[in-house]
Structure formats: C-alpha cells, structure tokens
Amino acid sequence: MEPEVIRQYVAQNRELETQLTKRNQQYIFDLKKALKAANLSEEELALVMHEMLPVLVREQKSGVTARQLFGTVSERTDAIINQPTEQEQTNTTPVMIWLDNFLLLLGLFGLFIGLVEQFSKGQPQPYGILTLLATTVVGGWAFYLMHKYIYQYQMPGADKSKRPKGGKVALILIGVFVLWFVAILGSGLIPPTINIILPPVVMMIIGVIALAVRFYVKKKFNIESTFGAPRPKK
C-alpha cells in the first residue's frame, strides 16, 4: 500500500482515538501494545486500527464497549495475528454451506430412516423420498442461518459489531424452523404414489453416498462447518 495512504490512515486513526471513551481508549492502547509486541508492522497496525476505530466510535454511542465488540485484548490480538492465509480461508459461500449441510443431513437421515425401517418390518413408515428431501433441503438452510446469525459471533475475537439484533435473529430462526416443520409435515401428506417409500437398504445406500459426497466436496472446496459454534484455532 502507498505510504501516503498509510499516513492518511494514521492521521484518521489518531483523530478517531480522541473520540473514544476512557475505557475504549485503554482497550485500544493495550491492543496496540500487544500487537507491537507480536511484531505487527506499523503498516499492518494502521490498517487494523483503520478497520476497528470507525466501528468502535459509532457503536460506543449506544454504550457498547470495545470488549463487547471485539472480545478481550488477548482474543482480539490472537484473531488478528493468526488470521488465515488466503489458501487456508474456508469457503463461506451460502450455497456451498447449504450444500454441505444438506449432504450431511441427507446422509444422517437416510441412514437413520433406513435403519428404523429395517428393524421395524411390518410397520409402515411415513418417510418417503420427498419427506427425506424436504427435511434435508430446508434443514440445511436452517442450520446455515443459525451459523450466520449466531455461531460465527461466538468465536473469540469475532467482530461482534456486525451481529444483528436479538429480536431480528429470533424472528428469522423461528420463521425458518416453522417452515422446516411445515415442509416435513406437508410432504408426509403427499400420497405414497408420489412420495415414494423406498426400501430400507436403498435409503441407507442414499445415506452412505450422501456422506461420501459430502466428505469429498467439503475437502475439495474447504467449506466451513456450520453445525455448532466455531472453535478457536489453537
């Protein structure tokens, strides 16, 4: 980056720091000290502050502290220093994450339904192919939304300033889970001539194939896992 641009960032950063509360000034002071101790260059430090300070100045007007936005100083330092390289970065494209979730659910539900049918012969099962697809297609999107609005912000050092309000998150998740429930129940009402009930062995084969494809696709495209809160890197 051009030296002139860096100088502009440094000047802007200094101006923004004067607008911080005492508590947030102390946080930034401690963070800069920790980053310098970790051998972060002046240019890199200017870029980091240029990203953080405008957000902090804006959010502190609502009483939000730097720690609430960015985690502890040590967590934020670790998140900055250990940022993954371009090759290590995971694929967070919504379609790819949905595909990963869909294949995992298809594999698990296919195996589960197949095993249940296998060991309960004589008892008709309502799980046809359309019910299986409805469960996994909508379910995959539901788990993606949970990751998008909740889990990714639980990572130590995550930028919590971008986290949406709790009410909005609740409405979105309630809506998608209601849709998921309706899709499962609605598909179960479709006549068996359309919602074909496959033999248990076929269902289990579908499950195994789905898990194998998921393993291959996840490894090839380095898709980020969304089942549960992400774990901090050691």
**Predicted local confidence at residue 125, as pLDDT:** 66
CA–CA gap between residue 181 and residue 205 (Å, rounded) = 25
Residue 57 C-alpha from the chain's centroid? 26
Contact 59, 161 (CB under 8 A): yes
Structure token digits, residue 183: 């899709």
162, amino acid identity: K
Nearest-angstrom CA–CA distance, 17 and 201: 65
How do the pLDDT tens digits run along the chain, 234 residues long? 577 888 888 999 999 999 999 999 999 999 999 999 988 888 889 999 999 999 999 989 988 899 988 889 998 898 888 875 444 567 778 899 999 999 999 999 999 988 888 888 656 666 889 999 999 999 999 989 888 888 777 765 566 667 778 788 889 889 988 999 999 889 888 898 999 988 889 999 999 999 999 999 998 888 877 765 444 444
DSSP at 60: G
Question: Whole-angstrom Cα distance, residue 120 to residue 63?
Answer: 59
Spatial neighbors of 159 by CB under 8 A, at least 6 apart, are 55, 69, 70
Name every residue whose Cβ is closer than 8 Å to that of residue 14 and which is 6 or more positions away in sequence. Answer: none
Please give the model's pTM, rounded to 2 decimal places: 0.62
Question: Which of 70, 45, 35 is CA-nearest to residue 157?
Answer: 70
Q: What is the residue-wise DSSP string for 152-220?
A: GGGSTT--GGGPPPHHHHHHHHHHHHHHHHHHHHHHHTS-TTTS----HHHHHHHHHHHHHHHHHHHHH
Q: Identify the helix (H) or strand (E) that includes residue 109.
A: helix 94-118
Q: Token pair of 114, please?
A: 């197949």
Q: What are the two backbone dihedrals, phi and then psi, of residue 91, each rounded to the nearest 5 degrees?
A: -80, 115
Q: Determine the pLDDT at residue 194.
A: 92
For residue 227, the model assigns a pLDDT of 64
